[in-house]
């Protein structure tokens, strides 16, 4: 059977034996796949330096049903995204975004849509100035969350679905999944007030659009909001390690 040729992005890589590597790839046609790249650790091999983190290209995969580890036959790079590794802010933002894909993109029924969302997010982070990398990461993360089917309710009450004003500060409940009207907020514990400007940012990010520039403390607040939302709707008890590093890096910068 010939290999499947599909667009792919390297999400994670680690050594396997003295000559090979195991990679986690986000692919357009087969979702997230674990693959064995034989000979990838040799100085001169068919993969060479092609399999750097966040690199994108055309992968040739031998897929066998029921196997957890597939075989990578080739990888032709089309976008290396070297800018992500040249700056700590970009690298941590990209790592947190890639981790969301790794953890939650495996069983998605529309891998091509998720792939395009991830690729656009990484490109945006790579192109961002260092001081704006966190905002690009927040935009990419919320867009992935939305494409996974968990977009927060921002224009209507998450519980009763009544329309709410976009110009008001409103309670936001991660448990409920979005903003709340005054009546529902009185019955929902743990909601926090979200300013109208912050609501507009999350709403824009969830559609793939960018919002305005944020101050460092605003970035920190948005990272915390995203983490709390993920804990309620997507996490299974395991920590998001790359996200934690990204969030702590934001605290240090602030």
Q: Whole-model pTM?
A: 0.91
How far from each other are the two terminal CA atoms of the chain, in whole angstroms? 54
In tens, the pLDDT along 44-89 reads: 556 655 678 999 999 999 999 888 899 999 999 999 999 999 999 9
Contact assessment for residue 176 and residue 228, using Cβ atoms and an 8 Å cutoff: no
SS3 category, 106: coil
Q: For residues 4 and 63, is the Cβ–Cβ distance under 8 A?
A: yes
Distance (Å, rounded) from C-alpha 134 to C-alpha 132? Answer: 6
Which domains are delineated in the chain? Answer: 4-80 (2.40.50.140), 83-151+192-253 (1.20.1440)
3-state class of 182 per DSSP? helix
* Element spanning 133, H or E: helix 133-147
Closest by Cα among 229, 180, 232 to 206? 229
Tokens of 122: 């990484």
pLDDT in tens, the chain (254 residues): 788 999 999 999 888 877 788 999 999 999 999 999 887 666 555 665 567 899 999 999 999 988 889 999 999 999 999 999 999 999 999 999 999 999 988 766 678 899 999 999 999 999 999 999 999 999 999 999 999 999 999 999 999 999 999 999 999 999 999 999 999 999 998 899 999 999 999 999 999 888 878 999 999 999 999 999 999 998 877 889 999 999 988 444 43
């Amino acid at each position: 059977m010939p290999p499947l040729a599909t667009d792919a992005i390297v999400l994670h890589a680690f050594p396997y034996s003295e000559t090979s590597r195991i990679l986690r790839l986000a692919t357009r046609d087969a979702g997230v796949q674990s693959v064995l790249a034989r000979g990838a650790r040799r100085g001169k091999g068919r993969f060479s330096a092609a399999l750097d983190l966040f690199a994108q290209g055309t992968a040739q995969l031998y897929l066998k049903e029921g196997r957890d580890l597939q075989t990578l036959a080739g990888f032709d790079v089309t976008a290396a995204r070297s800018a992500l590794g040249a700056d700590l802010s970009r690298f941590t933002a990209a790592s947190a975004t890639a981790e969301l894909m790794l953890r939650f993109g495996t069983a998605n029924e529309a891998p091509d849509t998720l792939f395009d969302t991830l690729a656009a997010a990484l490109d945006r982070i790579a192109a961002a100035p260092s001081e704006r990398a966190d905002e690009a990461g927040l935009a990419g993360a919320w867009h992935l969350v939305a494409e996974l089917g968990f977009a927060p309710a921002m224009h209507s009450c998450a519980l009763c679905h009544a329309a709410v004003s976009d110009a008001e500060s409103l309670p936001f409940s991660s448990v409920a999944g979005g903003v709340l009207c005054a009546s529902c907020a009185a019955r929902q514990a743990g909601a926090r007030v979200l300013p109208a400007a912050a609501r507009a940012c999350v709403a824009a990010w969830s559609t793939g659009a960018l919002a305005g520039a944020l101050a460092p403390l605003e970035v920190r607040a948005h990272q915390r909001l995203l983490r709390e939302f993920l804990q309620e709707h997507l996490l299974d008890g395991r920590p998001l390690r790359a996200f934690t590093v990204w969030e702590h890096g934001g605290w240090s910068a602030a």
